[in-house]
Structure 1
Amino acid sequence: MKKIAIIAVTEKGLEKALIIQKEFPKSLVITTLNSSDKNVSTISSISNYLTDNFLKLDGICFVTALGICVRLIAPYIQDKNTDPAVISVDDLGLNVQAVLSGHKGGANDFALKVASVLGANPIISTSSDVQNIWALDTLANQYDWQVATSLSMNKTMALFVNNKPTALLLDIKDKGTQHLEKTVPNFVTVFYDEAEIDYTQFELFIAVSYKVYTSTIASVFFIPKVLSVGSGCSKQLDSVLFETTLKEELKNRNIHFSAIKNVGSIDIKAQQQAYLDFSTKNNIPFSTFTSDEIDTITVPNPSEMVQSKIGVDGVSESTAMLLSGSKNVLIEKQKIHLENGEKFTFSIALDVKAERRTAIAIIGAGPGDEELITVKGKAYLENADCVLYAGSLIPEEMTNWCKPGAVVRNSAMMTLEEQIAVMQEHYKKGNAIVRLQCGDPSLYGAIQEQMTIFDELEMEYFIVPGISAFSAAAAVLKSEFTIPEVVQSIVLTRGEGKTPMPSKESIAAFAATNATMCIFLSVGIAKKVEAQLLEHFDADTPVAVMYRISWKDEEIYQGKLENLAKIVKDSKKTRTVLIIVGHAIGARKNRSQLYSPDVKHIFRTNKKFVVTE
């Protein structure tokens, strides 16, 4: 909300109004009281103020009794589509009531926000909120969908809030459909194929789709912008004929015109007036591509004539595929001859991100603690049909998030080929697949070779980042690894053992910066690492040797760099160790000396530090 008025009529109410105002910087506090506060506007009449400003405001917060609020706004209420969001807060800030324009105007969200500021009780009375079910009248705005209904939205919502049997059809995948899938009310049945719906069993039909459906029951259609249109044309193309004909062609194919996300052509058509007019009138972005870009696409219907004239196999299919990112088209090239003798072609592709297909989720599982997984990663894990995890690097407890019936395999004893075979089997079935990687997949996660194979097999995948061991190390050490005027960089690296290092990435080269060093996979060559670090770090630079950070058997040893190799040897740890080196470890302003000469190292186990002589 941009324009908000906070109206108070008592001194206590004015105190609360000023607290609320701090959370809404552009808001204005209005009162009839005398006040010297520069943030308060004193007026003579609230009624006169509302006469002039009611419809100009996005939100009004009354810090008054509810009855006063209702009487004051009553003369100005017109329509829920234009009325501002109105809420009422009592003088003591105990309760916050959404009064007017709860959904469309945003009063419910406004009330929840103000309640959180005051620590008050939010009072929301709209039926969908009370039942914790979808607010059908706000879903479109929330997820940037267009909306169409067979009945009025009020009648449609009445069916829904009365829990009438509802069929939900999801033809695409986006944040909105994922939300709907996760929050399905018990009276809603989800379908992914319209042919499977028996409309006699339902009273309401909801579709999230680019397709037009004709149902025999009350319907609401949410139309996402997911279609890319590619087009080529003759030298002249009438703007009006192009648009009306394209609309008719889509209508005949039961496709919503409002589902068009963008339109494209070859760069020699960049100034084609019909395309420019179409883009401007419908607020649909128009893009062009060079011949070289178009030549990267293998089109379903290559044209020898187009190749001979402009040097590419086709324009409409290739540009639709380039815009959408898809390797397929929904509608292959269509040749249209207009009544005035002009011609154009068009093809349509579905945005690859909106396709309902499976993809392998490569998920960062975090450093070890099963709760140190991202909310997004956990959600995918909970819904996966197949999960592969390396048991030596990821705690088995993390698989407790998996749903009953999921195939959960420890990949520690499997070859890469065996792992790929398992994932392929589930991929072909369209099952949800998760590959759990320790820490964050971008750091020593060995995902590069897996992704290469996925690319070769044309298996879709995506990555959900995780918490790296170095982040967990900073938390355990209660340290900020970047401290102004001390250290401003972090180096994540490994020592050179059996695996060669690039010539410019030696430990010594990085040590020359005196940045905070986080050294992975190097405990077996600790003596060599120590010597390289001492080329540039002082001997008394703090170090931490951290074994299985955040695991239940976590052990942490601290000391000075000159004793690094001895600390490692005494710890008897040979793997799953992260070495941290730098002045940021344990640094505090005006802190006392942490590392006295007679302290060899600090040992931490079972979540406690123990100083060892």
Structure 2
Amino acid sequence: MAEQVLKVAIISFTDKGSDIAITLQNEFYRSKVFTTRAVEETKDIKRIDSVKELIEASFHKYDAWLFIGALGICVRSIANVIQDKKTDPAVVNIDDQGKFAQSVLSGHVGKANELTAQISRILQATPVVSTSSDLQDLWNLDMLAEQYGWTQKCNTELNTIISSFVNRKPIALVLKVKDKGTEFLEKTCPDFITIYYSLDNVVRDKYEALVYVGYELIELDLPTLAFYPKCIALGSGCSKDIEPELFEKMLREELQKQKVAIESVMAIGSADIKAEEQAYLNIVTKLDIPLITYNGDELNSIDVANPSEVVKKKVGVYGVSEASAALIASESEWLVEKTKVNTDSGKKFTYAISLVTDFARKPSIAIVGAGSGDPDFLTLKGQQLLEEADCILYAGSLVPEELTHMAKEGALVRNSASMTLEEQIEIVDSYYEQGKKIVRLHSGDPSIYGAIQEQMTIFDAKGYDYFIVPGISSFQAAAAYLKSEFTIPEVAQTIILTRGEGNTPTPEHENIADMAKLRATMCIFLSAGIAKKVQGELLEHYPPETPLAVLYRVSWKDEEVWTGKLTELTQIIKDNKLTRTVLIVVGEAVGARKNRSWLYDDNWHHIFRKKAKLVK
């Protein structure tokens, strides 16, 4: 929608004021200057004898009046024509030196406060605004609906709620859905307002008023200001030529039963054969919403909750109301599944209701692998999730803190190192309830010594939606640093990822000595403190001269790496006082260069490299 161009009247009373009037006229496209001074008249500059007569004849013909002169003249000029804030134009007064611009009338609804700010920038003047909410930097409750395209309903005088608001009384804010408006309210919420995401959780006797954004009908004794975004998709099928008035009456009754505000309906959907159904055309015209119809293939693309063989025989689809609601909403779940209604005339209709997916609070938990240490090793998917997250819990010293700098403004970023599991889950619960995006950032790859199983057990029990994004593990970073391939034909075709048995026991069938029999490339985590024991177990089957690498914080800025033979393992650990964040790699593949893979041999053929045909 194009921004409205204001029709502005500018009145000046002095020669100096007339100069300011011309400056302002150049800034406002649809403006006319009126002055009591002698002036060369044009179609946009008029001399007047009586301000009173001009105001009485034209006050409501303009969107805004700019008075340049004494404030008293301005007030006396408009006193007898003021009606109410919903219809009165904006009035701003500027002194004839251009030092102050003051909002006088219709600060919010008429946008006088915005005009005052704009004029102060044009003239480099000081803005003067006396509206309490603006002075306190609070929301303009009476402007939110217009600002975000919501419909507003109030069960009491709006000023009653505004009074509680500007006097900072306890107010409950329920954000059932999400859009740009609710994001703004969350980010700028004052301290006397408590945010909820469900009406059921509001302790009503604690508050003087309630502000609601969603689709539910509110029936409370508490003074309530409800905002309804267009967020509901309503699908419907009906008998041919159903009576329009009867259809509308009974549909409204049904929505009331379901406690869904008709003001929140974004569109009505049906089958193509109903595109000219008068009942549908009448109601969408009245509600100023579209009627969207679909062909059979489109409707059958939805797996409806209540398929009907009868409907399939008649119109070739298994369901109209559920399918069309789902297609409009881009959501295959329904707030209200197909409901049949018999009207007083004997004709019938069905309806189903879905919440448009863009408005749904769909929380998610991403368990993200941060990589081995170098921030550049973070996956692109991991970066995207960090940039979008509302809450990031990262694993302390195991994850580069600079990765958290990707967080968007306003996101919660917390180091979980000092937290218990219960404290971490408490934060997750809070953000999940809000429908937020949560990232649990773990070092390396979460599936390798990531301690995520205990978290997933809780998420499963709570029914939380979560997923895992893999990361580069330190054993892969070690191979890169060592410029080694850990799987070499005829040398080592197996990689073992394990740890030694220290304070935490390992399974009986997984001791290092037994695994050493394979002489595979072995990557040993979390074992610097028991290096002597590990070395002894390895030497039971690996030759003493087996290549060895000890890597401390590999790929971090302070990484250190030592290479040698297996017999030197304990000495390397001891001499360098290594205790943690150490990876031990042992095996013939470490640093190997002699063997050639058959993959690129001239005699090895596969679907991407066919055997050459001999040409004689």
TM interval, shorter chain, is 0.5 to 0.7
Cα deviation for residue 259 of structure 1 reads 1.2
Whether 1:68 aligns to 2:73 is yes
Task: Tell me, yes or no, if the aligned pair for 2:393 and 2:414 is still in contact at 8 Å.
Answer: no
SS at match of 2:414: coil
Cα deviation for residue 406 of structure 1 reads 6.0
Task: State the one-letter code of the partner of 2:240.
Answer: K
User: Equivalent residue for 1:94?
Assistant: 99
- Relative to 1, partners in 2 of residues 1:242 and 1:396: Cα closer, same or farther, differing over 3 Å? closer
Cα deviation for residue 36 of structure 1 reads 3.4
User: Equivalent residue for 2:391?
Assistant: 384
| CA offsets 1:21-55 (integer angstroms, 9 cap, x no match) | 22211112221223337575122232222122101
User: Equivalent residue for 2:11?
Assistant: 7
SS at match of 1:215: coil
| CA offsets 1:586-613 (integer angstroms, 9 cap, x no match) | xxxxxxxxxxxxxxxxxxxxxxxxxxxx
Report the Cα distance in structure 1 between the residues aligned to 2:333 and 2:84, rounded to whole angstroms: 46
- Relative to 1, partners in 2 of residues 1:308 and 1:432: Cα closer, same or farther, differing over 3 Å? closer
Report the Cα distance in structure 2 between the residues aligned to 1:26 and 1:275, rounded to whole angstroms: 40
Cα deviation for residue 138 of structure 1 reads 1.2
User: Equivalent residue for 2:271?
Assistant: 266
Whether 1:83 aligns to 2:114 is no
Report the Cα distance in structure 2 between the residues aligned to 1:258 and 1:37, rounded to whole angstroms: 50
Report the Cα distance in structure 2 between the residues aligned to 1:65 and 1:426, rounded to whole angstroms: 67
- Relative to 1, partners in 2 of residues 1:414 and 1:145: Cα closer, same or farther, differing over 3 Å? same
SS at match of 1:385: strand
- Relative to 1, partners in 2 of residues 1:416 and 1:130: Cα closer, same or farther, differing over 3 Å? same
User: Equivalent residue for 1:568?
Assistant: none
Task: State the one-letter code of the partner of 1:272.
Answer: E
User: Equivalent residue for 1:249?
Assistant: 254
Identity %: 38
User: Equivalent residue for 1:469?
Assistant: none
Report the Cα distance in structure 1 between the residues aligned to 2:322 and 2:285, rounded to whole angstroms: 23
- Relative to 1, partners in 2 of residues 1:123 and 1:280: Cα closer, same or farther, differing over 3 Å? same
Task: State the one-letter code of the partner of 1:335.
Answer: K
Cα deviation for residue 344 of structure 1 reads 0.8
Task: Tell me, yes or no, if the aligned pair for 2:393 and 2:413 is still in contact at 8 Å.
Answer: no
Match 2:189 to one of 159, 162, 184: 184
Report the Cα distance in structure 2 between the residues aligned to 1:350 and 1:23, rounded to whole angstroms: 44
SS at match of 1:155: helix
| CA offsets 1:337-369 (integer angstroms, 9 cap, x no match) | 1111111111111111111112589xxxxx99x
Report the Cα distance in structure 2 between the residues aligned to 1:411 and 1:176, rounded to whole angstroms: 33
Task: Tell me, yes or no, if the aligned pair for 2:386 and 2:392 is still in contact at 8 Å.
Answer: no
Whether 1:318 aligns to 2:323 is yes
Task: State the one-letter code of the partner of 1:343.
Answer: K
Task: Tell me, yes or no, if the aligned pair for 2:174 and 2:199 is still in contact at 8 Å.
Answer: yes
Task: List gaps (5 residues or longer) in structure 1.
Answer: 362-366, 369-375, 438-613
- Relative to 1, partners in 2 of residues 1:306 and 1:431: Cα closer, same or farther, differing over 3 Å? closer
User: Equivalent residue for 1:414?
Assistant: 445
User: Equivalent residue for 1:470?
Assistant: none
TM-score by length of 1: 0.63
Task: State the one-letter code of the partner of 1:352.
Answer: T
Counting only pairs closer than 5 Å after superposition, residues 568-587 of structure 1 correspond to structure 2 as none
Match 2:156 to one of 151, 168, 183: 151
Report the Cα distance in structure 2 between the residues aligned to 1:400 and 1:178, rounded to whole angstroms: 13
- Relative to 1, partners in 2 of residues 1:190 and 1:412: Cα closer, same or farther, differing over 3 Å? closer
| CA offsets 1:474-495 (integer angstroms, 9 cap, x no match) | xxxxxxxxxxxxxxxxxxxxxx
Counting only pairs closer than 5 Å after superposition, residues 458-477 of structure 1 correspond to structure 2 as none
Task: Tell me, yes or no, if the aligned pair for 2:14 and 2:96 is still in contact at 8 Å.
Answer: yes
Report the Cα distance in structure 2 between the residues aligned to 1:410 and 1:150, rounded to whole angstroms: 46
User: Equivalent residue for 1:480?
Assistant: none
Report the Cα distance in structure 2 between the residues aligned to 1:56 and 1:410, rounded to whole angstroms: 60
User: Equivalent residue for 2:414?
Assistant: 405
Cα deviation for residue 156 of structure 1 reads 1.7
Report the Cα distance in structure 1 between the residues aligned to 2:195 and 2:67, rounded to whole angstroms: 42
Report the Cα distance in structure 2 between the residues aligned to 1:347 and 1:134, rounded to whole angstroms: 35
User: Equivalent residue for 2:60?
Assistant: 55
Cα deviation for residue 293 of structure 1 reads 1.1
Match 1:22 to one of 4, 23, 26: 26
TM-score by length of 2: 0.63
Cα deviation for residue 379 of structure 1 reads 8.9
| CA offsets 1:528-555 (integer angstroms, 9 cap, x no match) | xxxxxxxxxxxxxxxxxxxxxxxxxxxx
Report the Cα distance in structure 2 between the residues aligned to 1:67 and 1:262, rounded to whole angstroms: 51
User: Equivalent residue for 2:339?
Assistant: 334
| CA offsets 1:148-176 (integer angstroms, 9 cap, x no match) | 21211112211111111111111111111
Whether 1:200 aligns to 2:205 is yes
SS at match of 2:74: helix
Report the Cα distance in structure 1 between the residues aligned to 2:323 and 2:117, rounded to whole angstroms: 48
What is the RMSD computed on CA atoms of the aligned residues?
3.6
Cα deviation for residue 403 of structure 1 reads 2.9
- Relative to 1, partners in 2 of residues 1:431 and 1:76: Cα closer, same or farther, differing over 3 Å? farther
Task: State the one-letter code of the partner of 1:20.
Answer: L
Cα deviation for residue 400 of structure 1 reads 9.9
| CA offsets 1:554-611 (integer angstroms, 9 cap, x no match) | xxxxxxxxxxxxxxxxxxxxxxxxxxxxxxxxxxxxxxxxxxxxxxxxxxxxxxxxxx
Count of equivalent residues: 426
Task: Tell me, yes or no, if the aligned pair for 2:151 and 2:227 is still in contact at 8 Å.
Answer: yes
Report the Cα distance in structure 1 between the residues aligned to 2:283 and 2:255, rounded to whole angstroms: 15
SS at match of 2:80: helix
Cα deviation for residue 385 of structure 1 reads 3.3
Report the Cα distance in structure 2 between the residues aligned to 1:433 and 1:88, rounded to whole angstroms: 59
Task: State the one-letter code of the partner of 1:385.
Answer: I
- Relative to 1, partners in 2 of residues 1:47 and 1:177: Cα closer, same or farther, differing over 3 Å? same
Report the Cα distance in structure 2 between the residues aligned to 1:325 and 1:400, rounded to whole angstroms: 27
- Relative to 1, partners in 2 of residues 1:176 and 1:410: Cα closer, same or farther, differing over 3 Å? closer
User: Equivalent residue for 2:144?
Assistant: 139
Cα deviation for residue 210 of structure 1 reads 0.9
- Relative to 1, partners in 2 of residues 1:400 and 1:58: Cα closer, same or farther, differing over 3 Å? closer
Task: List gaps (5 residues or longer) in structure 2.
Answer: 367-374, 377-383, 417-438, 472-616
- Relative to 1, partners in 2 of residues 1:339 and 1:399: Cα closer, same or farther, differing over 3 Å? closer
SS at match of 1:405: strand
Report the Cα distance in structure 2 between the residues aligned to 1:198 and 1:391, rounded to whole angstroms: 40
Q: Which has the larger radius of gyration?
A: 2
Cα deviation for residue 434 of structure 1 reads 13
Task: State the one-letter code of the partner of 2:391.
Answer: A
- Relative to 1, partners in 2 of residues 1:430 and 1:356: Cα closer, same or farther, differing over 3 Å? farther
Report the Cα distance in structure 1 between the residues aligned to 2:61 and 2:459, rounded to whole angstroms: 56
User: Equivalent residue for 1:282?
Assistant: 287
Cα deviation for residue 253 of structure 1 reads 1.6
Task: State the one-letter code of the partner of 1:35.
Answer: V
Task: Tell me, yes or no, if the aligned pair for 2:31 and 2:44 is still in contact at 8 Å.
Answer: no
- Relative to 1, partners in 2 of residues 1:135 and 1:426: Cα closer, same or farther, differing over 3 Å? farther
Task: Tell me, yes or no, if the aligned pair for 1:34 and 1:42 is still in contact at 8 Å.
Answer: no
Task: State the one-letter code of the partner of 1:42.
Answer: K
Match 2:237 to one of 232, 240, 255: 232
